[in-house]
Amino acid sequence: MIAIILLLGLLGVVLFAAASGAAALPIAEILMLIGVFAVFFGAGVHVAAVLGWLAIFIGLLFSDRPWWNFAGQTLWGPSSNYVLVAVPLFLLMGEILLRAGLSERLYRALNAWLNRLPGGVLHTNVVSCAVFSAISGSSVATAATMGSVALPYFQGTAYSQRWVLGSLAAGGALGNLIPPGITFIIYGLITETSVGALYVAALVPSLLVTGMFLLLILGHGLRHPMPKDAPVPLRQKLLALKDLGPTLALILLVLGSIYAGWATPTEAAALGVTGSMAFAAIEGRLTFRMLHASAEAAARNTALLGLIIFGAYLLNYILTGINVPQAAAQLIAGLPLPPWAIMLCIIALYFALGTFMEGFSMIITTVPVVFPIVVALGYDPIWFGVVVTMMVEIAQISPPDGTVMYVLQGMRPRPGPITDVFVGVMPFLLAYMLAVLLLLVMPDLALWLPRALG
């Protein structure tokens, strides 16, 4: 099946290139890339293989340079980049925390303070995901970790399953937006933008999105009152705060060292791994078996992400060599539209891609083409990094291909249709889109803090 698809895609490329002529070559390349990628991705071919095949096809058909002589050097660049080391380290830290049981303590402590609010434990879902995101850096890891802890709490309760799953999916989607999100590392690597500055710029937007989620749950709780749990004595609430200690200490260790300028994101990730191992040892769960399982899971996820990055870098190298990004930038910049209208088109493009494309793949394949356009329009690269990350998060919870939603669907104690997750996440998805539009109207939401901190 895959061989037939490859042959059909190659045949379409050849026919289109022959019919288009040399004068229309940049447009032909862009349309060809979109068409063949859609065919491959729709057929279920792994995205890393799609990117690699496209690079080979375009290089053979359109490039006069022996691009294969430069493939090794092209792939060596991202594989040896110091910043990229932070990705497996953050993944490893999240895996250790999951197996050390600190996520369950975090959920219990927050629930003692939030369960009496209108909306009840749904508030705990979002806030616990937001806090865990500050030490995880991954949406999927956040959703899987907090979902495994939270879903048993709703067994036999009157809570709407759709709102339970929707709040966990929306909270999990914060994993890449709240520093130290891995998406910022990838974006900074591709665009040569300061990862530390991106982390600072994301603070206010992440608080904005979290606040909008909580307001949604508050409104739902007021419209559909739920029986409240028994009041928790203040003394018990204060005692529950000690369960927040390990998590807050790790947040201070990781983010505090970055914001204070004492450590780079990579060094902070290493500190986070060391700190998570220390807390696991205090809990009595630091064993060789646990470390082995954590390292194996982190290595698997890193390898999958690495293959996508390598395929994308090879494709981007060839596209740049035949002037596709430059041609696209000139084409869009020449449209008789104001910059904000063009940016709305770019945001709409990301939203459309997010309905069928995985978030990391989307950012790696599109940013090298879109970034020159955004800079030419006069937008700040740091601001655009926050917007792109938010669109990646929206892609994680956009039907029908949102990764986070399928993670939660697979963790449900009681089987149910995937439409429960789709419907439940929709209010949060609309709130997230509203936050992106607010950021477009008021870019200082992302830029004033980096400016204030110099």
Q: At what angle do helices 195-223 and 419-441 cross, to 10 degrees?
A: 120
Phi, psi for 222 (deg, rounded to 5): -75, -35
Q: CA–CA separation, 110 vs 97, rounded Å? A: 17
Look at 51 and 294; give whichever has higher pLDDT. Answer: 294
Q: Do you find a cis peptide bond into 180, omega within 30 degrees of 0?
A: yes
* Residue percentage of the chain with pLDDT more than 70: 77
CA-to-CA dists, residue 268 to 40, 130, 256, 274, 398, angstroms: 38, 19, 9, 10, 31
> Given pLDDT bands bounded at 50, 70 and 90, which one contains residue 301?
confident
Cα(330)–Cα(349) distance, integer angstroms: 18
Q: Which pLDDT value is given to residue 3?
A: 35
In 3D space, the residue among 261, 297, 283 whose CA is nearest the CA of residue 454 turns out to be: 261
d(CA 264, CA 382): 17
Average pLDDT over every residue of 322-335 = 65
Confidence band of 33 (pLDDT split at 50, 70, 90):
low
pLDDT tops 70 at residue 368: yes
Q: What would the pLDDT profile of 276-295 be if each residue is shown by its tens digit?
A: 899 889 888 888 999 999 88
Ranges 182-191, 258-267, 371-380: which has the least confidence: 258-267
Residue 83 pLDDT: 63
Residue range 140-152: mean pLDDT, rounded: 81
Q: Which pTM was predicted?
A: 0.76
> pLDDT at residue 376 above 80?
yes
Identity at 451, one-letter amino acid code: R
pLDDT of residue 194: 87
**Given pLDDT bands bounded at 50, 70 and 90, which one contains residue 21?**
very low
Residue 403: partners with Cβ closer than 8 Å, 6 or more residues away: 139, 140, 358, 359, 396
Distance between CA atoms of 282 and 291, rounded to whole angstroms?
Answer: 15
Q: Which pLDDT score, from 0 to 100, does residue 17 have?
A: 39
Average pLDDT, the chain: 78
Mean pLDDT lowest for which of 64-68, 253-257, 318-322, 345-349?
A: 64-68
Which of 236-240, 358-362, 401-405 is predicted with the least confidence, judged by mean pLDDT? 358-362
Band of the pLDDT at 445, cuts 50, 70, 90?
very high
Q: How far apart are CA 395 and CA 363, in angstroms?
A: 11
Q: Which one has a higher pLDDT value, 336 or 28? A: 336
Task: Please report the DSSP string for 170-226 in residue order.
Answer: HHHGGGTTSSS-HHHHHHHHHHT--HHHHHHHHHHHHHHHHHHHHHHHHHHHHHS--
Residues 70 and 68: their CA atoms lie apart, in Å, by 5
Tokens 């041609």 -> residue: 327
- CA neighbor of 396 nearest in space, from 177, 94, 110: 177
Residue 181 and residue 439 in contact, taking contact as beta carbons nearer than 8 Å? no
pLDDT digits (tens, 9 = 90+) for 183-192: 888 898 888 8
